[in-house]
């Protein structure tokens, strides 16, 4: 694939494509483990989340990479949903920001305390559907361990009303906390668990010599910052595009096309045994 033209990188960070040799040097002799967000990373952000379809080209690359190293799809989507979207049985899937994890060889984890909060999420979902029913374009998406309120398609003057409804519901539900994303507000379990904690759990679960594993994490949204923070001293975080907060990523990619370029280089290096 032809490399996209080099315009300004997110946050002024070095390009993960142009500085790929430097990334290989940072990995050194350790075994990389690749973490990939889905929406906005492997697929462009779209108005209807169900229309976020993985391209055949990226799917093929991920499958080839997974022949050599562990690949984790870590998403705010329900685990079953993102697993169906990707459709590769050899991968590890961490859904609901890491509350629900499955993978090859019997790997499985569902956050026990998260399950205890399911009735609270049921109640909040009903309240929000009733409260927001008259606002055109709003979407209340119930996930197993969270509720995502999408306002991308809401008229600008109605957005404050949507945000107010979410914040007031959070005030009524002390077991839930606010999560943010691109044109999304989330209601999540008020627990010390996020994509960063899930990343650490997975690295420990994948082998007794976890210090030899080197995480490479590619994501685009605020929720991925928890992972960038968690692995700041022992991994590489790559931000795709930008969001409205600071980032702890080390490198940047402008869009999904550049993610494809990076994955091509990554896969070729694995086949040449320059990374493993």
pLDDT digits (tens, 9 = 90+) for 118-168: 999 999 999 999 999 999 999 999 988 899 999 999 999 999 999 999 999
Burial of 135 (0-12, 13-18, 19+ CB in 10 A): middle
β-pairing verdict for 71-74 and 92-95 = parallel
- Give the confidence band of 4 by pLDDT, cuts at 50, 70, 90: very low
* Average pLDDT value for the chain: 92
Q: What is the DSSP letter of 231?
A: T
**Is residue 223 over pLDDT 60?**
yes
Angle at 105 between CA 100 and CA 111, to 5 degrees: 20
pLDDT digits (tens, 9 = 90+) for 170-193: 999 999 999 888 899 999 999 989
Contact predicate 24/269, CB 8 Å? yes
Neighbouring residues of 147: CB distance < 8 A, sequence distance ≥ 6: 121, 124, 125, 128, 140, 141, 186, 187
CA 96 distance to own-chain centroid:
9
Burial of 201 (0-12, 13-18, 19+ CB in 10 A): middle
pLDDT of residue 48: 85
| Mean predicted confidence (pLDDT) in 41-60 | 93
**Is residue 201 over pLDDT 50?**
yes
| Mean predicted confidence (pLDDT) in 41-51 | 91
Q: What are the DSSP calls for 80-140, one per residue?
A: HHHHHHH--TTSEEEEGGGTEEE-STT-EEE-HHHHHTHHHHHHHHHHHHHHTTTSTT-EE
Euclidean distance between CA atoms 185 and 152, whole angstroms: 11
State what percent of residues in the chain have pLDDT above 70: 95
- Give the confidence band of 275 by pLDDT, cuts at 50, 70, 90: low
Euclidean distance between CA atoms 187 and 177, whole angstroms: 6
| Mean predicted confidence (pLDDT) in 49-74 | 96
Euclidean distance between CA atoms 162 and 140, whole angstroms: 10
Q: Which domains does the chain have, with CATH numbers?
A: 30-110+193-270 (3.40.50.1000), 114-189 (3.30.70.1020)
- Give the confidence band of 3 by pLDDT, cuts at 50, 70, 90: very low
**Lowest-pLDDT range of 6-15, 238-247, 250-259:** 6-15
CA 222 distance to own-chain centroid:
9
pLDDT digits (tens, 9 = 90+) for 95-121: 999 999 999 999 999 887 878 899 999
Contact predicate 4/261, CB 8 Å? yes
The whole-model pTM stands at 0.85
Helix or strand run (H / E) with residue 268: helix 256-271
pLDDT of residue 182: 85
**Is residue 208 over pLDDT 70?**
no
| Mean predicted confidence (pLDDT) in 15-25 | 97
| Mean predicted confidence (pLDDT) in 233-241 | 95
Query: Could you confirm whether 37 is annotated as catalytic?
Result: yes
């Amino acid at each position: 694939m032809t490399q996209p033209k080099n315009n300004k990188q997110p946050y002024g960070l070095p390009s993960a494509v142009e500085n790929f040799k430097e990334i290989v040097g940072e990995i050194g002799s350790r075994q990389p483990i690749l973490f990939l967000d889905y929406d906005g990373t492997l697929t462009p952000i779209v108005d209807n989340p169900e229309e976020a379809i993985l391209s055949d080209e990226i799917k093929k690359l991920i499958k080839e990479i997974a022949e050599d190293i562990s690949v984790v799809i870590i998403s705010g989507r329900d685990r079953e949903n993102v697993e169906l979207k990707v459709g590769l049985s050899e991968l590890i899937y961490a859904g609901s920001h890491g509350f629900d994890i499955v993978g090859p060889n019997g790997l499985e984890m569902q956050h026990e305390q998260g399950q205890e909060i399911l009735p609270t999420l049921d109640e909040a979902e009903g309240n929000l559907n009733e409260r927001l029913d008259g606002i055109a374009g709003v979407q209340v998406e119930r996930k197993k361990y969270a509720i995502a309120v999408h306002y991308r398609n809401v008229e600008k003057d109605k957005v404050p009303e949507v945000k107010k409804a979410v914040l007031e519901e959070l005030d009524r539900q002390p077991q839930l906390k606010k999560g943010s994303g691109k044109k999304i507000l989330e209601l999540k379990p008020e627990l010390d668990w996020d994509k960063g904690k899930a990343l650490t759990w997975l690295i420990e679960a994948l082998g007794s010599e976890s210090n030899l594993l080197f995480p490479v994490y590619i994501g685009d949204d605020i929720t991925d910052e928890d992972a960038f923070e968690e692995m700041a001293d022992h991994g590489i975080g790559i931000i795709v595009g930008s969001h409205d907060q600071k980032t702890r990523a080390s490198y940047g990619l402008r869009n999904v096309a550049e993610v494809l370029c990076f994955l091509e280089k990554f896969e070729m290096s694995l086949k040449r045994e320059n990374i493993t």
